[in-house]
Amino acid sequence: MKSMTGYGKNHCLKEDYQIVVEIKSVNHRYLDTQIRMPREFSFLEMSMKNCVKKYLTRGRVECFVTIQKEAEAYQSMSIKWNLLDQLVGELNEAKTTRYQGKKFSPSKILTGAIMHPDIFEVADKKEVDETFEQDLLETFEKAIQDLEKSRLAEGTEIQKYFATYRLDIEEAIKKIKGQSEKIESEYQEKLEKKISDLIGDKVDENRLLTEVALLIERGDINEELDRLAIHLNKLSQLLKKETPVGKEMDFLIQEMNREVNTIGSKSTAIEIKEQVVFLKTVVEKIREQVQNIE
């Protein structure tokens, strides 16, 4: 069993670059993956999302990719030689003609002009080294694996709570069944006595027993208790599954809650009402935890 809440982190440190990937996930009805990284690597986003699908089925997953590169290793220099040649030629010509005999230094002018972006340009390389791309994807996958371990650890803890809640429900069902049999017998005696006190000995015994049986049947909760027990067995089966069970458990808890509400509406005895309140509390605790399960 896995939780949908978790955190994973991994990094890759090389001579020319450093990659850090941090991933966190929270509850979500479906799998929703958001990746934040430098725009120049956006072409790898689909590969990363497919990697997430490989390990997770539900949850909102936020991925943060930080990349630091050594500038020299990922920059290229571009010199527009035609313009530079033209500039050098005209400066040398000007020295012997226009500025002959005057204080004029073509070298100083070139020193300043050579940094002009129209002549000299330093730019980041657009192509991505294959080794870097592989390192980035491997680092990302290891971070996802770390996240999965985190979700599994939390899911294991939640599973322990479910096991405890299942025992609580089982014990409450036993108590209700014991009280129900006793209350039905007492209810029949009280009802027969009350009717007898009202109308005396003129009542038809068979008719009286039939009416009493009908009234008791209306308040019979054995069918609901049986269905609740069946749901409880299903819960035990789901707790043993290794595949995602969140959606199945969510539906199952709705059914269990429906049976508990019906038992509460049919019962008037305070002893059973107390157990119904307890059952509602336990079922609600399970429902809250189910929202965290993948």
Q: Is 187 exposed, middle or buried (0-12, 13-18, 19+ CB in 10 A)?
A: middle
- Is residue 153 within a helix (H) or strand (E), and if so which, with residue range? helix 130-199
Say how far apart CA 249 and CA 230 lie, in whole Å: 14
* pTM for the full predicted model: 0.67
284 Cβ neighbours under 8 A, 6+ residues apart? none
Parallel, antiparallel or unpaired: strands 17-26 and 6-13: antiparallel
What pLDDT, on a 0 to 100 scale, did the predictor assign at position 74?
52
What pLDDT, on a 0 to 100 scale, did the predictor assign at position 53?
95
Q: Is 62 exposed, middle or buried (0-12, 13-18, 19+ CB in 10 A)?
A: middle
The pLDDT > 70 percentage for the chain reads 80
Give the model confidence (pLDDT) of 55-101 as tens digits.
Answer: 999 999 999 999 887 655 555 667 777 877 787 788 787 777 877 77
Give the model confidence (pLDDT) of 142-201 as tens digits.
Answer: 999 999 999 999 999 999 999 999 999 999 998 888 877 666 666 666 666 666 665 655
Q: What is the mean pLDDT of the chain?
A: 83
Say how far apart CA 76 and CA 74 lie, in whole Å: 7
